[in-house]
Amino acid sequence: MRIVSIEPLNRRKSRVLTDEGPAFALYNGELEAYGLTLDGELDGEMYERLLREILCPRAKERMLHLLEASDRTEAELRRRLREGGFPAEAVEAAIDYGKRRRYVDDRRYAENYVSFRAASRSRRQLEAELAARGISRDLARECLEEIQIDEGEQVRRLLEKRGFDPENADEGERRRTMAFLSRRGFSYEAILDIMHKKY
């Protein structure tokens, strides 16, 4: 591999790009210590050494730091580590470490997410939010099946909060309210059922 670019990220750190794809960030002192220069060769042995001595341990440390603040999905961690300048091998090593020790567990994340938010969100909304966090549709559905979500009760509470009066609402207010509830992911059956009841 040939080093085709060394771009400063800040005063202390630079991003190294090779002609064969691997890109990674190192401190400037590390570039010097390992003899990495623009247009210089980076052989497989040296790259493995960088992974073993610097990049994999640093990716693992970064992953643990990210998990200190809150639980994260595997997809979120992968994205954050890649954005942090870690090559694919270091990202995979960190994720594998986290999974072996159960620091990274998408099922636990999804179950917790659903249990904390089920009272205020529709099934479709929860599914979409989990998908946005990298949880597979199948896993999201499994977790949602394990918990009872009473959409009718959720719709009723939202309508009460909005001050919706089914007896005195005009057609425009009904349409706006239905659109609001629909955007929140509630089924038309649940919306119509509750909107036409006096609660």
For residue 13, pLDDT over 70 is answered with yes
More confident residue, 198 or 186: 186
For residue 136, pLDDT over 70 is answered with yes
Strand segments (E) across 11-82: 13-18, 23-27
- The highest-confidence range among 25-39, 157-171, 177-191, by mean pLDDT, is 25-39
Global pTM reads 0.74
Please compute the mean of the pLDDT values over residues 168-172 and round it to a whole number. Answer: 80
For residue 119, pLDDT over 80 is answered with no
Q: What is the pLDDT of residues 21-62, one digit of tens each?
A: 778 999 999 999 999 999 999 999 999 999 999 999 999 999
- Confidence grade of residue 197 (pLDDT, cut at 50, 70, 90): low
Give just the sign of the alpha carbon dihedral 189, 193, 194, 195: positive
- Confidence grade of residue 79 (pLDDT, cut at 50, 70, 90): very high
Environment class of residue 74 by beta-carbon count within 10 Å: exposed (0-12), middle (13-18) or buried (19+)? middle
pLDDT > 90: what percent of the chain? 59
For residue 199, pLDDT over 50 is answered with no
Q: What is the pLDDT of residues 17-32, one digit of tens each?
A: 999 877 899 999 999 9
Residue 85 CA to residue 9 CA, distance in Å, equals 10
